[in-house]
């Protein structure tokens, strides 16, 4: 099966080269896959040749094509082995996502968690800082289900064993969120936590109360100003499991 994968991968690259070269050779462009001419709706727009990727995948053995619009990802697979993947990531672009791109990505990937006592859900708010008085570039607020967290904290119906297990699952989920965000945002100082906030006087928006659990960051320094803090490795800043 591994041999088949290599053949399919090489064929895919060969197709791309033939198509790219065709524009300079003649007005009619030939598409050849595994030594066989394939007829497809090939277009040339402003000097760039476009070939339907579906046509390529359908003419390679054991290859499937999937398009995920939410992630802007096109994946060509040979059984369970990835042949070619296009997805927003540091390894490909080296450029950080925008605030809304990061928020949407985290929402898509991490808004649900199956725990030992059932599923819980989250919503994401990513705030971008432009002030010299705060140390971070982005703050990832993972808004949690208050009822679920209250049960984990204080329900008499939950055994201590289950309580500790769910806390560990929540901590692990947050660590995945953190390391994913750090990977997608090179050069950016980020902090995050499970989050709940409200105003004691909501009409006039005064006396803001915040609850933060499993807080983390990837920067450190003396003081709280932007310039006083520099990038660092992943750090738990409020991760004592007894805090939840």
User: Who has greater pLDDT, 175 or 53?
Assistant: 175
The pLDDT assigned to 31 comes to 76
Q: Which of 96, 185, 191 is nearest to 136 (CA)?
A: 191
Whether 8 and 62 have beta carbons less than 8 Å apart is answered as yes
Domain ranges of the chain: 2-87, 92-243
For residue 86, what are its two tokens? 């296009």
Band the pLDDT of 41: cuts 50, 70, 90: confident
pTM, two decimal places:
0.63
Q: Please tell me the distance from the alpha carbon of residue 103 to that of residue 97, in angstroms, as a whole number.
A: 9
The pLDDT assigned to 86 comes to 42
Categorise residue 44: left if φ over 0, alpha if ψ from -120 to 50, beta otherwise: beta
User: Who has greater pLDDT, 67 or 108?
Assistant: 108
| CA 130 to chain CA centroid, nearest Å | 23
* For range 130-157, the mean pLDDT: 95
Q: Which of 194, 195, 217 is nearest to 208 (CA)?
A: 195
pLDDT digits 0-9 by tens, 99-138: 999 999 999 999 999 999 999 999 999 999 999 999 999 9
Q: Which of 174, 208, 210, 180 is nearest to 192 (CA)?
A: 174
């Amino acid at each position: 099966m591994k041999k088949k994968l290599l053949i399919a991968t090489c064929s895919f690259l060969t197709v791309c080269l033939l198509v790219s070269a065709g524009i300079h050779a003649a007005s009619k462009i030939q598409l050849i896959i595994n030594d066989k001419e394939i007829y497809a709706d090939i277009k040339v727009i402003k000097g760039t040749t476009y070939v339907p990727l579906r046509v390529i995948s359908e003419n390679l053995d054991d290859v499937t094509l999937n398009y995920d619009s939410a992630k802007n990802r096109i994946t060509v697979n040979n059984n369970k082995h990835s042949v070619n993947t296009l997805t927003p990531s540091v390894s490909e672009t080296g450029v950080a996502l925008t605030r809304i791109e990061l928020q949407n990505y985290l929402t898509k990937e991490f808004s649900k968690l199956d725990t030992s006592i059932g599923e819980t859900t989250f919503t994401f708010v990513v705030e971008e800082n432009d002030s010299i008085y705060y140390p971070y570039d982005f703050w990832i607020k993972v808004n949690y289900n208050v009822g679920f967290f209250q049960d984990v904290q204080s329900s008499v119906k939950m055994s201590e064993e289950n309580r500790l297990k769910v806390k560990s699952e929540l901590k692990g989920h947050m660590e995945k969120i953190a390391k994913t965000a750090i990977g997608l945002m090179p050069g950016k100082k980020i902090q995050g936590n499970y989050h709940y906030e409200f105003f004691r006087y909501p009409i006039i928006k005064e006396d803001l109360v915040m609850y933060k659990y499993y807080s983390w960051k990837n920067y450190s320094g003396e003081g709280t100003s932007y310039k006083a803090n520099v990038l660092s490795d992943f750090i738990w800043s409020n991760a004592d499991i007894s805090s939840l």
